[in-house]
Amino acid sequence: MSLFRYIFIFSFLLCLASCQEKEHEPEATLKKALEALNAENYDAYLQHVDFGADMDSAQIASMKDVLRQHLGWRRSERAAVVSIDIVDAKMQGDSICTVYYQYTFADNTTEVGSQKMVRYGEEWKLRLRN
């Protein structure tokens, strides 16, 4: 086989791999965000959220307090999260996607949810507003 064929095949495989990665970006972004939230890493979680406008430091601090309270309430009501799994994703055009996920808790109960995701350029964010 000629060098050109090897280069062509390698280039094709790289392109195929990168296309598959981009196809699953909303799911990967949501999983990272939910795992960050579960680990109480509010800064990492908030980096994945679309607020519709820039927030100042006071607004970010307020949002972290809300998240802290919500997580505290949730943990008092439920067993610890054992896993967060992506169940499905439905694209609605090029820049909107609804991702379905499932929490599995230490007591073997599950909770299914969905999250709308929006793409800004190459980056996917959680949409918390309609």
Domains of the chain: 3-127 (3.10.450.50)
CA end-to-end span of the chain? 55
Whether 26 contacts 42, CB under 8 Å: no
What is the model's pTM?
Answer: 0.77
Instruction: Identify which has the larger pLDDT, 21 or 30.
Output: 30
Q: Shortest CA distance to 117 belongs to which of 55, 50, 67?
A: 50
pLDDT (0 to 100) of residue 38: 95
> Is the model's pLDDT at 68 over the cut of 80?
yes
